[in-house]
Amino acid sequence: MCPDCGKHFDIGDWPFACAGLGHELGSFWLGDSQIHSSEKVVVLENKFTGDVKIPGRGDRPVHPKLAAEGYVRKVIDTHAGVREVERKTKTMHEAGNYNSNSSQELKDTGAIGR
């Protein structure tokens, strides 16, 4: 039972008291906790055709020419969303699939012999 509003809780329900604000996730929730804000994926999606373009840089606004064609900037902040774009574009998000602290990274960069 919530001490603030009296709502009944079952096992597995949102466990925090609401303090009169409700029991939904708050504004602190920014997406998948496994994706750091520096690793979020930015794509340009055409709202008419569904076509997806991957920009060279994620910190720039949509180019006016692309915006005129119907492309909008979309930030993907969940693993499921990243996997969906990978399937759609037949590409791979290297930062999400590459362990920079592995021996494979040393081989790939030529730091150690193969």
Q: What is the pLDDT of residues 36-92, one digit of tens each?
A: 777 788 999 999 998 999 998 888 899 999 999 999 999 988 888 888 888 888 888
- Whole-model pTM? 0.56
In a domain, 68, yes or no: yes
CA–CA dist 97, 114 (Å, integer): 20
How many domains does the chain contain in total? 2
For residue 45, give its domain range.
37-109
Residues 19 and 67 in one domain: no
Does residue 99 share a domain with residue 46?
A: yes
**Please, which pLDDT band fits residue 97 given cuts at 50, 70 and 90?**
low
| Residue 114 is assigned to a structural domain of this protein | no
Residue 104's nearest CA partner among 114, 94, 92 is 114
On whether both 6 and 54 belong to a single domain, the answer is no
